[in-house]
Every structure is written in C-alpha cells, then in structure tokens.
Amino acid sequence: MTSATGEGARAPKVNVADAAPNRRRGGDIRVTLSPRTVGAASGFGGFLYLEPGEAVTEHYHPYSEEFVHVVAGELEMTVDGEPVPLGPGDSLLVPTGLRHRLVNTGTTRARAVFHLSPLAPRPELGHVDTEPPPRPGLPGPAVGGGSP
C-alpha cells in the first residue's frame, strides 16, 4: 500500500507501440493508460490516429468527460451537431453526455491524445454508439478489468 506522500508508489509506463489497436468505431485507437493496463482508478486515455477522410463514429459518454489534444493533422469534432475545427496544439473538452464525432479533414494522417474521466461504473456502460460503427464485429477498447 502507498502512503499519502506517494512513498512506495510505482509509476507504470506504457508505450503506444505496445497497445492493441482498436478499429471498431473507425480510426486506430490505442488505450495506453487504463484500469486494465496500469490499474488506473480515475479514468483512461491513449492515442488516436486517423487517416485522411477517416472518422470515429458518433457516440457519447454518459459518465465521462473527454479531453482531446491534437498533435498533428487537421480534424473536425462535431459536438451535438456543431462542428469544431481542430489543428495541432488545439485541445477540446467534450462534456459528459454530448454526442460527438471526429473526422480527419486534412490530407495527412492526424494524431491526437485523449483522456476520459471519471470512469463509468462498468466498462460496457462507458460508451454509447449513436451511429453504427464501421466494424461492429470487433470488440471495443479494453479499458476495465472485466470484458472489453
């Protein structure tokens, strides 16, 4: 057990190359820090890669805010029907419960970092699709300690 000062704590490290790609909802989403990967207790996050014209289908998170930080490329996040253009260095907060869809509007591969917090009571309750995912047969991201 760790103390309040962090004595005895460990800081787990995960490289994006070691994270399994998830393509169920479009793009290449890689969860690096989560309850399953490092024992995170307050949220989860990782990397997102989108090729030109590629999108992550519309969905919402009933329990979590989503933070998106664009590293490279040109993206557009539509939040409850309103388009928000995003470029390198831009960050966006998607409040809990708002529908959102992300598309690469540029001509090069886009890269972003994301984080969601707090965690849903169970992993399967954390994400609600509002349009059919392009690859529905694939499992969702492995976030929690239970089933993906």
Instruction: Specify the number of domains making up the chain.
Output: 1
Residue 19's identity, in one-letter code, is A
Question: pLDDT tens for residues 108-143?
Answer: 999 999 999 999 998 889 989 999 877 766 666 666
Kindly indicate the confidence band of residue 148, based on its pLDDT and cuts at 50, 70 and 90: very low
For residues 35 and 119, the answer to whether their CB atoms sit within 8 Å is yes
| Residue 52 domain-assigned (yes or no) | yes
The answer, yes or no, to whether residue 44 has pLDDT greater than 70, is: yes
Residue 139 lies in a domain: no
pTM, full prediction: 0.84
Q: Whole domain around residue 38: which residue ranges? A: 23-129
Is 140 among the domain residues? no
Average confidence (pLDDT) over 9-38: 91
Question: Does the residue 136 lie in any domain?
Answer: no
Q: Domain containing 121 — which CATH number?
A: 2.60.120.10
Q: Is residue 65 part of a domain?
A: yes
Is 63 a residue whose pLDDT tops 80? yes
What is the rounded CA–CA span in Å between residue 148 and residue 40?
16
If residue 114 lies in a helix (H) or strand (E), which one and from where to where?
Answer: strand 110-117
Q: Note the Cα 40 to chain centre separation in Å.
A: 15
Domain annotation covers residue 14: no
Q: Is the dihedral of CA 50, 68, 115, 14 positive or negative?
A: positive
Look at residue 9 and tell me if it is in a domain: no
DSSP string, 16-65: GGGSPPB-TTSSEEEEEESHHHH--SS-EEEEEEE-TT-EEEEEE-SS-E
Assess whether pLDDT exceeds 50 at residue 53.
Answer: yes
Contact 42, 115 (CB under 8 A): no
